[in-house]
Amino acid sequence: MKKVLLIDDEVTILKLLNHYLSSYYSVTMKNDGEQALLWMQEGNIPDVIVADIQMPNMDGDGFLKQLKTSGFFKDIPVIMLSGLENSAERIKFLKMGARDYVVKPFNPEELYLRIKNLIN
């Protein structure tokens, strides 16, 4: 089963996505980029990462920078989640290497299809 790493400090978003995506994928949830990186450095490699932008400790910006400068993790596709509907912000994250950018609120089925398209 393919593995999805969800990173968001909003528990309701994590629960919603876990409920929806766990039918299709093995889902791991972390509350910030720092926890996610530590989990990955323990040898856990997801097939795709869905990460919020605004989080405590290490936000989506810092997480994506760390990920893309890592020789080991740089090729894992990342979908950024944001409450900001802002073209400049989307362009910034896509230039940094994010494969997609989804604005909250979103339809879980749409996110599932975006993940499916990245993994397959």
Q: What is the mean pLDDT of residues 2-7?
A: 98
Domain boundaries, the chain: 3-119
Please report the pLDDT score of residue 15 as a whole number: 96
pTM: 0.96
Look at domain 3-119 and name its CATH class. Answer: alpha beta
Instruction: Give per-residue pLDDT as tens, 83-95.
Output: 988 999 999 999 9
Please report the pLDDT score of residue 120 as a whole number: 84
Please report the pLDDT score of residue 106 as a whole number: 93
> Quick check: 25 pLDDT over 90?
yes
Are the C-beta atoms of residues 115 and 3 closer than 8 Å to each other?
A: no
